[in-house]
Structure 1
């Protein structure tokens, strides 16, 4: 929408500049042919008119350029998305989390919390003029308790990426919890590491 408005403003600016370049004698000739009894137009009036036309033309150009800038900042380019996905993949790969002592093997919330994690990470790695939103991580296929694939897209970009996420059980951590009777208890919590990879194209 803003692009169309900017193009209209550029065309309007060009027409105004053409009008400002019309010679005074030609305007007087046109006016006399339409109304021979009309009083003559002074040269000062043409100067004022040209300045006004030039001012409006410059305003149209400035507004059009700003509109294109706003349009560009509100959409992802293919290169921006490619770079952001690569950065998010590197950041998520090797990340880890701990489970509670009673949820050993609990499935990952791939369709909720982890989806938001991916989208936020990609937006954070957008950089440049990339917007801070508009990223969509769509779960594809059937996710298991420890593995899922996502189709990554973003508004304005015509490309898509496939991100593969797998959770690997990396043993346990032990936490000593003091007991009320003086006997310490050892609580084991599972540690999970995520391996994340991505590639261009559909999953």
Structure 2
């Protein structure tokens, strides 16, 4: 019985999450939809010397990066798959300077997580470790300061390499089965002792 219980628990754990690192292509990503959506290829990004675009491109190596075109004050990333996702981290930089961004995580319409993140033109990793999301958003700050060594201006940021764990919809069923197997195991053990 113990072996069966361990096998069920291992099977459940393997079905609960699937890790992925999301890189963008010309059309974005199949897992996340950005609104508004803007993508820049790495060749163009690398040519923008000293910018956060070049920094994120160099740090992540994906074919494209995402950014908030027209310096949009709010960009939302919506999950496209059934179930939810755990947001582990992503690589981000201020495109033309520094500012404080507000990162928010949502489960449906409910705000579940929020954090302030100061960015400049050097790529940095935002460690979220937020669970059970259906979307997250990035809002620009009101403390933007343009870097003196860049050619552009505006409250743009650049982002890539979003690390997530996909939590499929049937995960609840697997967890329920594991719980039932545990209860059965505990009852049998108690019955044997009696």
Shared fold (TM-score greater than 0.5)? no
Determine which structure has the larger helix proportion and give its number. Answer: 1
Structure number with greater CO (CA < 8 Å, separation at least 6) is 2
Relative to its length, the structure with more strand (as a share) is: 2
Normalising by the residue count of structure 1, what TM-score does the alignment of the two structures yield?
A: 0.27
Larger radius of gyration: 1
